[in-house]
Structure formats: C-alpha cells, structure tokens
Structure 1
Amino acid sequence: MVRPTAVPADAERDPTEARPSLRGTTVLVTGGAGFVGSHLADALAGGCDVRVLDDLSTGSRRNVPDAATVLEGDVRDPADVAEAMAGVDVVFHEAGLVSVPASVEAPVRSHEANVAGTLHVLEAARREDARVVAASSVAVYGDPVDVPVHEGDPKRPTSPYGVDKLALDHYVRRYHDLYGLETVALRYFNVYGPRQAGGEYSGVVSTFLEQAQSGQPLTVHGDGDQTRDFVHVSDVVAANLAAATTDHVGRAYNVGTGDSISVSDLADLVVDVTDSASDVVHTDPRQGDVGRSEADPSRARRQLGFEARVGLESGLRDLVERAAVV
C-alpha cells in the first residue's frame, strides 16, 4: 500500500503544494459532493485516485471534479462504505448531518448520520489500514469557559449535533489508541466559502449574503452579541491535507483563524461589502446556540504546520465577486 509522506511542519502551507505528498495514493472523500468535501476533491484531483461517496441528498454531482469517481451511497450503510473504501489509502470523512437546528428536531437521524456513519467508516478503514481524517466541530465545546478555546478545554455540547460530533471525535482518537489506526480529528469552527448553500439550515455567512444580495433584511438570532470564528473553506482544505500527512496522529486539532467577530458586526460587514440597503433585524434566539466562540489554533500551527490565511473581509468580497460573475 502506498503511504503519503509527511510534510515538514515549517513547510509553506499551500494546498497546491501539499498535493505532491499525496500523489499516487487512492483517497476517498465521504460527502464529497457537498460543501467542504467537494473542495477537498478539487484539491486532490489530478494527483490522486479520488473517489467520492455521497448520497446526494444535499450535495450535487456538479460540485465534483470530472477526474473523481462518484459512488452514490450512504455512510449509514456499511456495505456502501466497504465498497467505497476498498483499496483506499486515506479517507477524508466529511459526510454527516451538519445542522444544529436539524439535530434538535431529529436527534436520532443526526446520531445515525454523524455517529453510526463514522463507525462504519472507521471499521472499513481498519480493514484497509487507511488513514482517517474526520470532520469534528467546534460544537463539541458548547459554551466555552473562556475564549480562545484550546483543544484540552471542557467539552459541554449544547445540542444533539454537538454530542454527535463529540462522540465522533472520541471514536476517531480511540481507534488510534486501541487499534493503531492513523486518525486525526479536525474541529472545524465556522466554515464559509463558495458552494455553501443558503437556506434555513445553512451557515450564517451564506444566509446573510443571500439576504443582502436579494434586498431582504438580515436576520440575526438573539441580540447578535454571540461571537464566531469564521474560517474560509480553502483554509479548511489545507488543514485536511496537512492532517493527511502529519506524523502527529491520534489527536484532535482546532481549525479556525484565532479571531472572532460578533454576529451583529458580521451582518454590518456583509451589508458593507455587498453595498446593500438591507436592514438588520433580530429574531428569537436559536435553540442550542452558544454565546462565544474563538479558536486557539496553536496546536495545529505547531504540529500540522497549518495557519489560516484568508481574512474574513477578503473572503466575503471574493464571494460577492463570484456571485456577480454568475
């Protein structure tokens, strides 16, 4: 089996430069037709044999690069996972139910997608001796005791989604401790970027942009004082590629910028970058939401050689420019 070579921690952190270290490997991206997964598939296509496993319930084949093989299937089905995993060297596990409100409405469905699906991936990876890089979440921390949040801080999830991601996070790391499987859990903070769909359960950035560009009011849940660390999807891809080649396995890493902004200030910034006349209005607080959130990314910087590069304003302006072209 081909093994990826490690990237030095002090190497230049550029997704296109990270690809050669994985060149020649067979990789699987679960949820690879979705938001983060499709960007990962883009970064890997050409240098790797890329497979995508996706049930296409929220993702789209249009997001997947032509060089990747799409296998329509569900991580909740162990047979689908086993078929997709055959001969794989590295799996990037992005599939799951990515919504706090949806998990509150349907906790069993959330558990099946996020926890049971992860166990199927880990079991198949054991059989193939494949490295697993799995998408965990800032939601594992819940309302933090203090910010910025370090990986060792208390885990107090406030939603079924957060509980599910904490279970995923534990399973991923325990499979390394118990079975020697090479695993990494990446705790994404608030990811935004191209292909993030708007709508009821989408990220707040895409929702605000959609509202501002259509002249609708920007709806802020609660008082808007809650803070978030927004990380661009290109930086999330870079963190995944670094995790696929690091020697520091069996650990969890925060993937964020180390900066935060209040949701109210984000709304004002979106209005500014879109040159919109939209008002900002406040609605009821969202159940399961947390007050403050900001990553301490120092472990990822030390051990993965990862550091976020895209500033929030420039990332927002890029999204506005892309929308104008379309």
Structure 2
Amino acid sequence: MKVLVTGGAGFIGSHIVDRLILEGYEVVVADNLSTGSPANINAESRFYQVDITGDDLQDLFAKEKPEVVIHHAAQADVQVAQREPVFDSMTNILGTVNLLQCCITYNAKKLIYASSAAVYGAPCYLPVDENHPVNPISNYGISKYVPELYIKAFHKNFNLNYTILRYANVYGPRQGLKGEGGVVFLFARRFLAGEPPLIYGDGEQTRDFVFVEDIVNANLLALEQGDGMVINIGTGAQVSVNDLCSRFREIFKSDLRAEYLEPRPGDIKKSVFDISLAKNVLGWQPLVSLETGLRQTIEFYRDIWREV
C-alpha cells in the first residue's frame, strides 16, 4: 500500500512515516518545511517539498497516486492562529480542501485526518467523548473543525472514506524544535537549562497527555479500521500542570520551583478524553505511561541540545 503523509517532516508526521516504513509500506512525504525539519525525513521515503495550499500538490498526486493519505500538515500554533487568522485558515481549511480535491481526482481510497481537542472548546462535562458538543473558542479550534465538515461532505458526495482522529495533548521527541512546543517541551527546555519552569495561572488546569508513539499506533490501526468515524485519542487520565511540574522535578532530582504568570486568555481549565471508542473500534489503547514518555522525551532533548 502506498501512503502519503502530509506534514511528514514534522513532529507527529515523521514518527508515523518511520513506523509505516518499518512495517513495509511505500511512503511518500509532503512537507513545505516551514515547521518540519529536513532532519526528520526518513531516507526510505520519497520526499516532496510542497505546500498543501499550492498547485504542486496536484502534481505530486498525479505522479504518486497514493492509496491512503494521512493528513498532518497544518498551522498548529494556537497563538499564531490568534494573530494571523487568515494564514491559519488558508493553511488548515483551504489546504485541506485542496488535498481532498486531489484525493478525488486521483482516486485515493481513504483520508486519515489529524484533528484536535481544541474543537470541543471548554468542556461541558468530563471525560469528553465524541458526542460532546463542538464549540471551539480559538481560531485554531475553528480551523481544525471546519475541515472535518469538508471531509464528511466529500465522503457523502464522492464516497471518499475517512477516519478523523481528535488528539489530546501530544508530546514526545522532535516536538517544538521548530514551531509550537507545548508544555512538556517548554518544561524540558527550562529544566535542562536550570531555569524555573513557567506556569500560566494557578497550575491546576488539567490536560490529557498522550505520547507520540501511541498516536502513531492509532494512525496505523486507522488504515484498516474506524471508517467514517470521529475518534478521540488520548489516555483518559487528567494531569494538572502542577503535577506535571512535580514529575519533572522528580526526574531531574531538582528543587526548581515554578514561576507563576497571569493566566492566558481562553485557556481551558479542565480537559480529559473518554477513549472508549478508540478501544472498541480500533482496538487501540495507550501503552506508554507518562513517566516513561517524559523520560524518553527529556533524553531526546538532552542529546539534541548537547550537540548544539
């Protein structure tokens, strides 16, 4: 099977590419390298430096004719989305529509789309399941949700198969080296530098932290399962930012104390996923504990920054 991974030089996409190649798939990578890194490109893939919003994407499809597309190319920085909503929507919405049109024109069988917990907005109840109301409160959440509607429309009108995976807070090696990093990356950077970690608000806000390799497993399962469905991918465990900071202190055997800053506007207080559907439909469950994932992530950054 030939699989196209958009954003395949980025954080999550590159890990998916590596696993696909390991499993024997023929893999094509599309990435404009705006936030992806050449260092992440697997040498056994065929790489095209193209933007999903441009005409070059059609040339790629005409040449490669992928059977399945795993779509991770995106503008993924929440703050950039707030500052530059036109750029954000052009990339995430129009770029996805361009990709969908290419899928139809060149007879791709299925699209797997990386969506986000941001589409739910502030939770009405916890844990958040797939039936939870969709009410994004950020530009980023809007630009990740609108493509879901287009994907469903293309399925109805053109019979394009799909699986939509809504991710919780993904972390792991390769995150943040270009572009948005997330709190795990930011904590790792501060602790490795011997600087106090920064926490916005009181630190009691909770998140569902899922390791990148578990995200990879979900995507590979979705190649054959979860057709026509929207599925949450998280851990089902709430972790507060204060607790996360304590775990970093334990790993580093550090007495660094957090510096607390003003809360960021629109920051959601509590968030955690119900992952029953992923377990029942995909046969998926998270395998990497937070402790193990944090240690692997920290070691990656320690090695990277030692070389700089």
Residue 192 in 1 paired to residue 171 in 2? yes
Q: Corresponding residue for 1:49?
A: 26
Q: Corresponding residue for 1:34?
A: 10
Q: Distance in 1 between matches of 2:263 and 2:252?
A: 25
Q: CA deviation at 1:288?
A: 2.9
Q: 1:238 to 1:319 in 2, by over 3 A?
A: same
Q: Secondary structure at the match of 2:34?
A: coil
Task: Tell me if structure 1 keeps the 8 A contact 2:192–2:302.
Answer: no
Aligned residue type for 1:59: G
Task: Tell me if structure 1 keeps the 8 A contact 2:7–2:30.
Answer: yes
Instruction: For structure 2, list consecutive stretches of 5 or more residues without a partner in the other structure.
Output: none
Q: CA deviation at 1:302?
A: 0.9
Q: CA deviation at 1:200?
A: 7.6
Deviations 1:58-107 (A, max 9, x none): 11111011101110010111x22212223100111000111111111111
Q: Secondary structure at the match of 2:75?
A: coil
Aligned residue type for 1:172: I
Q: Secondary structure at the match of 2:215?
A: helix
Residue 238 in 1 paired to residue 214 in 2? no
Residue 70 in 1 paired to residue 47 in 2? yes
Q: Corresponding residue for 2:227?
A: 249
Q: 1:147 to 1:198 in 2, by over 3 A?
A: farther
State the superposition RMSD in angstroms: 1.5
Q: Secondary structure at the match of 1:279?
A: coil
Q: Distance in 1 between matches of 2:211 and 2:252?
A: 18
Q: Secondary structure at the match of 1:45?
A: helix
Q: Corresponding residue for 1:227?
A: 206
Q: Corresponding residue for 1:61?
A: 38
Task: Tell me if structure 2 keeps the 8 A contact 1:174–1:250.
Answer: no
- The correspondence of residues 279-298 of structure 1 with structure 2, limited to 5 A, is 279-298=257-276
Deviations 1:191-248 (A, max 9, x none): 00010125883111111111111111111111111110000000001111111111x3
Aligned residue type for 1:168: P
Q: 1:126 to 1:104 in 2, by over 3 A?
A: same
Q: Corresponding residue for 2:132?
A: 153
Aligned residue type for 1:214: A
Q: Secondary structure at the match of 2:111?
A: strand
- The correspondence of residues 1-326 of structure 1 with structure 2, limited to 5 A, is 25-45=1-21, 47-77=24-54, 79-86=55-62, 87-130=65-108, 131-197=110-176, 201-246=180-225, 248-325=226-303
Q: Distance in 1 between matches of 2:93 and 2:137?
A: 17
Aligned residue type for 1:304: L
Q: 1:80 to 1:288 in 2, by over 3 A?
A: farther
Task: Tell me if structure 1 keeps the 8 A contact 2:5–2:13.
Answer: yes
- Equivalenced residues, count: 300
Instruction: For structure 1, list consecutive stretches of 5 or more residues without a partner in the other structure.
Output: 1-24
- TM-score if structure 1 supplies the norm length? 0.88
Among all aligned residue pairs of Structure 1 and Structure 2, give the percentage whose two residues are the same amino acid.
39
Q: Corresponding residue for 1:17?
A: none
Aligned residue type for 1:260: Q
- TM-score if structure 2 supplies the norm length? 0.93
Q: Corresponding residue for 1:12?
A: none
Task: Tell me if structure 2 keeps the 8 A contact 1:192–1:232.
Answer: yes
Q: Distance in 2 between matches of 1:264 and 1:54?
A: 35
Q: Corresponding residue for 1:13?
A: none
Q: Secondary structure at the match of 1:70?
A: strand
Q: CA deviation at 1:44?
A: 1.0
Q: 1:230 to 1:137 in 2, by over 3 A?
A: same
Q: Secondary structure at the match of 2:259?
A: strand
Q: CA deviation at 1:128?
A: 2.2
Q: Distance in 2 between matches of 1:199 and 1:34?
A: 9
Q: CA deviation at 1:276?
A: 2.8
Task: Tell me if structure 1 keeps the 8 A contact 2:37–2:178.
Answer: no
